[in-house]
Amino acid sequence: MITRFAFVAAAALALGSCDMAVGQMDGSGIDAARLVGADEDWANWITHGRTYSEQRFSPLDQVNTDNVGELGLAWFADMDTARGQEATPLVMDGRLYLTTAWSKVRAFDAASGEPLWEYDPEVPGETAVKACCDVVNRGLAAWGDRLYLGTLDGRLVALNRETGAVEWEVRTTDPEQSYTVTGAPRVIDGMVIIGNGGAEFGVRGYVAAYDAEDGEEIWRFYTVPDGDSSDDPEYLQQASETWFGDVLGSESGIGGGGTVWDSMAYDPELGLLYIGVGNGSPWNRAYRSPGEDGTGEGDNLYLSSIVAIRAETGEYVWHYQTTPGETWDYTATQHIVLADMEIDGEKRQVLMQAPKNGFFYVLDRATGEFISAKPYVTVNWATGIDEDGRPIENPETRIDKTGQPALVTPGALGGHNWHPMAYSPVENLVYIPAFEAAMMYAPEANWKPDRKRGFNVGFDLGAGDLPPDLGMRREVAGTLKGMLVAWDPVAQEPRWTVQHPGPWNGGLLATGGGLVFQGTAGSEFNAYAAKDGRKLWSFAAQTGVVAPPITYTVDGEQYVAVLAGWGGAYALSVDGEIIDRLEPVRNVSRLLVFKLGATGELPAAPELAEIPLDPPPSRASAETIAAGGRHYARYCAVCHAPAAVGSTVLPDLRRSGALQNRDAWLAVVHDGILSANGMASFAGSLTKEEMDAIREYVIFRANQDKDGGVK
């Protein structure tokens, strides 16, 4: 909170930087007092956002604006998972713990980098097709002498912190449905809180609390009604009045969505847990909640909402919906930050969020009262937020009503995604890893859900599917921007902005040394002056960095650490050629740890060998190619990028040897011979003829691009 942090920061400067062991743990376990008092534990990083307020601000100032240029690589550790790395490490007792892709866990000596133990939950490879946005994991929680991990396939696992041994595990999701877990758990008074993802695949969202001792479920909070409200608690009965049609919980397979896949914050004085609720399932409200005229109707609570829950019991307290009747994948699962500040001459306990929809919100966290909201990026779906906190919508972008395509900003990736913000109570600024990426939304005619496979969004994801540098694809590419925005939450305006070449830059860390740290899609790890955004230091990371940094001390020395490795939704779903035009990027997954005066160096970056574009001739009929394009858009584009251009993480299908042979292609797509690598069979959703039509479409696209000069 601003008053206490301002005092702590001032005290740190008065004492000098020599006493860096403030709050150093004594080797005993994590308890409620330690978590509530994490503000004063300068040496460690014991919960996801460093404190329950999720400010990601550390008072440490040994590394500061005067000497950050002396920061050097102390040690690094390569990961064995060449996929997106999104985790926030934890540091306790001089040990660093982190998760990697595929829900693996590793422990290191935080000063030397010596490996201590590893844990692999052996997530089945075919789970990857249930994950909308890469096989990532964002971190751990700690309680007592245990660590807690949510695995991609829906398990909650308790590990011995000393050895990495499994002490118990429970399943938190239905394995028959396409749920996944990628977010970091939180622990409150001996309860482990975890949500899940899967809205794009037709699931119903919830968050649940489990006993840290044995994994027994204590409470479960559903975010959307199930179609039969008679036995629902009052908050869900009220929500059901905002849904229309007869689809929820029915055999139609529409689960409603509203998954709680990332953000949480906790106020121990109020006893409130704040959760961010995700998008609808499907995105297109016309299919999810149809009115009498067949177009979208209703606010659809509690989609795209911030909800306050009584942490002890899981009871509903209040909500604020950022995007009523959401239809653009505008989740409110983005980072939630709590702080105390003066607004209009009054001290306020506030909650702040910059969700996907492009507006920065300030709410009273005790009551949910709307205080203010302004756009932090370019927005065309709404012209503003009215005095009641509702958006003033642009009807042309309400495609669930018009039934017509529209280019909407922000697009489905948002103006800010999962990457954590940071808040400096010294500057009273929120640092946002913002970006702009418009999307062409075009309703899909005669859409039907497929809970087993495929993106259940109700839109034609091939709407911008044209050859490179032509038409809508070029127009969308022209909207791609990235920036670090220092946002004044009282004035609701930017104080300063750093422009990046493109989107999908890393999460933030702010420190008492007057610094803001951020990795970039351009393979840099940078330090900026928190006051004015001057770039003070940079390290060539050899890979895109999307994860947020942390800082800690061991034996009086301050370290800064970040998990590097390119991946996630943007890296998968935007074609690699567009990304590489902005910032050529590859995945080299490793943990990087820095301290003053260190002189370590990375090995030379590996050479990137490109398979030549040499497809077989395209001889299929126009009808077959068109059908293959439709199936590709729904079942393949989310991982292999639109227009079959190839993402920067997964294989470029235009260059696949399987294009040469129908049987080889079907062995992968139908028989699932690569399921251990994440490419599961689609036999339950597509016929062999439809699968081969996709192959013919990819062959057609590969020839188009080769004729256009792509090599």
Residues tagged active-site: 329
For residue 81, give both structure tokens.
Answer: 């998972």
Helix-strand-coil split of the chain, %, nearest 5: 20, 30, 50
Q: Which helix (H) or strand (E) holds 538?
A: strand 535-540
- Cα–Cα dist 301/481, whole Å: 32
Phi, psi of 98 (to 5 degrees): -145, 160
Which 8-state DSSP code applies to residue 68?
G
- Cα–Cα dist 100/75, whole Å: 18
Q: Could you tell me whether strands 429-436 and 481-488 are parallel, antiparallel, or unpaired per DSSP bridges?
A: antiparallel
- Cα–Cα dist 469/704, whole Å: 12
CB 389 within 8 A of CB 408: no
CB 227 within 8 A of CB 251: no
Q: CA angle, corner 593, sides to 592 and 594, nearest 5? A: 125
Q: Could you tell me whether strands 550-554 and 346-353 are parallel, antiparallel, or unpaired per DSSP bridges?
A: unpaired
User: Which residue, among 72, 82, 86, 97, has the nearest Cα to 162 in the 3D structure?
Assistant: 97
CB 172 within 8 A of CB 154: yes
CA distances from 156 to 129, 143, 180, 217 (A): 20, 14, 11, 11
Q: Which helix (H) or strand (E) holds 483?
A: strand 481-488
- Cα–Cα dist 340/328, whole Å: 32
302: preceding bond cis by omega (within 30 degrees)? yes
CB 574 within 8 A of CB 638: no
Number of helices and strands in the chain (H, E): 12, 39
CB 529 within 8 A of CB 65: yes
- Cα–Cα dist 245/284, whole Å: 14
Helix (H, G, I), strand (E, B) or coil at 311: coil
For residue 334, give both structure tokens.
Answer: 């983005």
Residue located via tokens 């994860």: 547
CA distances from 572 to 83, 132, 504, 611 (A): 10, 9, 11, 19
Residue located via tokens 């009498």: 292
Residues 6+ apart with CB under 8 A from 603: none
Q: What is the 3-state secondary structure (H, E, C) of 374-408?
A: EECCCCCCEEEECCCCCEEECHHHCHHHHCCCEEE
Q: What is the DSSP string of 452-463?
A: SSS---SB-TTT
For residue 584, give both structure tokens.
Answer: 């050529």
CA distances from 593 to 44, 118, 302, 628 (A): 15, 19, 40, 46
Helices 622-635 and 688-707: angle between axes, nearest 10 degrees: 100
Residues in the chain: 711
Q: What is the 3-state secondary structure (H, E, C) of 567-619?
A: CCHHHHHCCHHHHHHHCCCCCCCEEEEEEECCCECCCCCCCCCCCCCCCCCCC
CB 536 within 8 A of CB 69: yes
552: preceding bond cis by omega (within 30 degrees)? no
